[in-house]
Chains A and B, each alone.
Chain A
Amino acid sequence: GAGVSQTPSNKVTEKGKYVELRCDPISGHTALYWYRQSLGQGPEFLIYFQGTGAADDSGLPNDRFFAVRPEGSVSTLKIQRTERGDSAVYLCASSLWGGSKNIQYFGAGTRLSVL
């Protein structure tokens, strides 16, 4: 596709369950970012991939959160033992390269609801 694709668009789960959120970036984009947006707030950085490696995971809130990008394209954000506080919209963005002065293009997000 032409843009960043995120699936599922909505995910409802129960507290304590495991979830995976998928991001398919724009073809040819080497940089991939995950953000989390809580209600009434701006997106907050979680993790950045350059190629297959996580170059910066300083935004991950705790060790229940993990992300991979094994082939340098599609990325999966994994959340273990979900908590109600994890409920938010998870946004993925990609850019041609990482670093300052790059334009990040966002997907529509996955709305995660933890009951």
Chain B
Amino acid sequence: DQQVKQNSPSLSVQEGRISILNCDYTNSMFDYFLWYKKYPAEGPTFLISISSIKDKNEDGRFTVFLNKSAKHLSLHIVPSQPGDSAVYFCAASEVAGGTSYGKLTFGQGTILTVHP
């Protein structure tokens, strides 16, 4: 069962516009959510995270929104730049003190292409 889903395999936006990447999850034990960016032949690079006690976290051009009731999170990139073109993964980990030890459950990824 896919506990974290990214339903859009790809997204194409124009430079300067907003990119919105979406992620849905089913496991109500998830309490920490992260976005990773991945370039070809490199490992995933941490981008931004959010705890379940918050509904928004912002870092420069990147903002993550969390809607717990809908079990949905999104990553907003504004303005988008050509260097943002990469695969973006949504990931989640379970509550502290549980037996998950912080292991991450990833979505399938969304390929973002930002056109100049």
Contacts and interface: CB of A to CB of B under 8 A. Distances in A.
Interface of A: 4, 6, 31, 33, 35, 40-45, 48, 50, 55-56, 59, 91, 93, 95, 98-109
Interface in B23-52: 31-32, 34, 36, 41-46, 49, 51
Contacts of B99: 56
Interface of B: 4, 6, 31-32, 34, 36, 41-46, 49, 51, 89, 91, 93-109
Contacts of B91: 42
Nearest to A108: B43
A101 B108 contact: no
Contact of A100 (B4, B31, B41): B31
Contacts of B104: 33, 35, 43, 45, 104
Contacts, number: 82
A45 B105 contact: yes
Contact of A98 (B32, B42, B44, B101): B101
A77 B54 CA distance: 37
A93 B116 CA distance: 33
Contacts of B42: 108
A40 B2 CA distance: 14
Contacts of B107: 42
A40 B108 contact: yes
B30 to A, nearest CB: 9
A33 B103 contact: yes
A43 B4 CA distance: 12
B101 A50 contact: yes
A99 B101 contact: yes
Nearest to A47: B103
Given A42-B107, A50-B101, A101 B43 contact: no
Nearest to B87: A42
A107 B38 CA distance: 11
